[in-house]
């Protein structure tokens, strides 16, 4: 039997009120929650600006701290015996110092040269050439000497160039060019050569090499010339360079009379050769050569338009620089090339190579060594972790020391803040 209790009218009204209140509260809660979800609280404009500023400031601080930690670490590297700033951009009213060169003479003098670019870091523009000398193997340096100016011209007239040591007559020499880019202010390219018989303290009147080699753009270096010590052609002077920006080529000039006269030697031309050349074509450019103990000439060449890789071109000459052996031309992927000149040196039975380690950007100055005449480059050391560009090396030929000497373009936020000098102890390298 079931029993049903009849609710009074008052009880039914109470129940209805409670149910309606429940529905009302639930709807309100859902609406508020929905509004909160659909319209989240946003920062005002001032708040957003502050947030962005804080983020940017924090990023800059972190990067700056990391940068200075890197700098502190690399300044204390044991293989770097000594460092010295030869030129700083902005000094002496000069916008940028570029294209460092360096040689060591038989008398124990180090001679460094550079371009003082007056108004900008670009190749175009007025400049003069400067020299600094050290008579104690790099520990102290004399004040700079202004060697040559282009004040009588209006644009882009002087370019380095290469230095030369001639052990036979005790002289040193400097190659430089006038009107390399053939602007409106001049139309005829001229290659010049100056000699000094007192280790760069004074210089003789320049001779016009273009009169000997004929017309055309033959820009020497940047780097140094070599004097052959092994057959064939012992005593021959060899200096290499490149053509203009349209007709890519690497070439050598030869002298068999102590630099009195010069003639054309081996040439490696771009493919295609001429104005039709474009990006990714074979386009050899700036070069540096050394002599190997078997008498052959080893060349390291700038791969200007990144033919097949962002890496260096190498080649050999077996006839004293008269030609480059076509079957010796190589693309060396272990040697990154961000379209920049490199340093090369034969010292202590090994090839020493210096260049930025980046394949795109000119950064991370790296020293590499080869014990098999450039076939492989297994040993590598970073000398400077930030921006860098051109570099050059030398050593004293009559010394058994493990020291080599290096100059390079050094940068922090860009690649040309200063030109630095280093003494490096190869015995301390890994």
Q: Which residues are known catalytic residues?
A: 123, 390, 409
Query: Which two three-digit tokens encode residue 341?
Result: 């000149």
Cis peptide before 337 (omega within 30 of 0): no
CB-CB contact of 278 with 271 (8 Å): no
Cis peptide before 161 (omega within 30 of 0): yes
Query: Which two three-digit tokens encode residue 351?
Result: 């090839």
Return all residues near 417 (Cβ < 8 A) that are at least 6 apart: 88, 89, 387, 410, 411
Rounded to whole angstroms, how far apart are CA atoms 367 and 256?
Answer: 33
* Owner of token pair 């000119």: 362
The HSE-up count of residue 184 (CA atoms within 13 Å, CB side) is: 1
């Amino acid at each position: 039997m079931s029993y049903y209790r009849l609710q009074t009218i008052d009880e039914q009204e109470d129940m209805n009120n409670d149910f309606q209140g429940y529905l009302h509260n639930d709807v309100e809660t859902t609406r508020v929650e929905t509004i909160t979800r659909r319209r989240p609280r946003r920062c005002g404009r001032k708040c957003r600006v502050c947030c962005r500023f804080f983020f940017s400031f924090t990023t800059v601080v972190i990067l700056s701290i990391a940068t200075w930690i890197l700098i502190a670490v690399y300044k204390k590297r044991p293989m770097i015996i000594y460092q010295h700033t030869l030129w700083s951009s902005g000094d002496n009213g000069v916008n940028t110092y570029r294209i460092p060169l360096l040689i060591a003479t038989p008398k124990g003098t180090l001679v460094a040269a550079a371009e003082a670019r007056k108004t900008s870091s670009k190749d175009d523009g007025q400049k003069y050439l400067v020299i600094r000398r050290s008579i104690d193997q790099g520990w102290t340096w004399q004040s700079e000497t202004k060697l040559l100016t282009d004040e009588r011209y209006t644009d882009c007239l002087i370019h380095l160039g290469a230095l030369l040591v001639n052990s036979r007559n005790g002289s040193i020499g400097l190659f430089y060019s006038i009107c390399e880019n053939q602007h409106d202010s001049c139309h005829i390219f001229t290659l010049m050569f100056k000699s000094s018989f007192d280790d760069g303290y004074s210089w003789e009147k320049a001779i016009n090499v273009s009169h000997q080699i004929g017309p055309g753009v033959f820009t020497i270096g940047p780097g140094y010339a070599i004097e052959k010590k092994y057959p064939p052609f012992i005593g021959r002077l060899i200096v290499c360079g490149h053509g203009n920006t349209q007709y890519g080529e690497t070439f050598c000039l030869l002298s068999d009379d102590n630099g009195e006269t010069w003639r054309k030697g081996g040439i490696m031309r771009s493919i295609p050769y001429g104005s039709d050349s474009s990006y990714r074509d074979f386009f050899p450019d700036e070069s540096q050569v050394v002599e190997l103990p078997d008498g052959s000439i080893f060349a390291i060449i700038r791969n200007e338009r990144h033919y097949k890789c962002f890496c260096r071109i190498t080649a050999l000459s077996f006839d004293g620089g008269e030609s480059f052996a076509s079957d010796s031309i190589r693309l060396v992927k272990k040697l990154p090339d961000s379209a920049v000149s490199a340093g090369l040196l034969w010292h202590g039975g090994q090839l020493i190579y210096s260049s930025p380690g980046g394949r795109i950007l000119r950064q991370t100055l790296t020293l590499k060594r080869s014990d098999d005449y450039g076939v492989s480059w297994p040993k590598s050391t970073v000398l400077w972790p930030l921006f860098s560009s051109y570099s050059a090396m030398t050593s004293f030929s009559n010394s058994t020391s493990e020291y080599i000497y290096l100059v390079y373009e050094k940068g922090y936020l860009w690649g040309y803040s200063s030109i630095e000098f280093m003494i490096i102890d190869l015995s301390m390298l890994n």
